[in-house]
Amino acid sequence: MTKHKYEYKVAIYREPLLGSIFLGGSRVDPVRYTDFLNKNAAEGWKVITMERETRRELLFFKREAFLTIMEREI
């Protein structure tokens, strides 16, 4: 019986702070986030879980982010 071994990667994906400064808040662009996920999938990573959060930046600005946990077999 072969045991599977995995490695894990935790990534925080968020848009640049510039959008938050000019617009007062910044949401994740679904096209860019899809590109981010596809790039990681091409490297063998599979998303295990993700969580959306809003982070406060520089006291006044809000920025949406996704905490994404991925794994791949080694």
Q: Which two tokens stand for residue 5?
A: 């071994």
pLDDT, tens digit, for every residue of 3-44? 889 999 999 998 766 544 444 456 788 899 999 999 999 999
pLDDT, tens digit, for every residue of 34-70? 999 999 999 999 999 999 888 776 666 777 889 999 9
Separation CA 26–CA 31 (nearest Å):
14
| Residue owning tokens 């990534």 | 11
Question: pTM for this one?
Answer: 0.74
Q: Which two tokens stand for residue 65?
A: 């982010």
Domain regions of the chain by residue span: 12-73
Spatial contact of 20 and 57, defined as CB atoms under 8 Å apart: yes
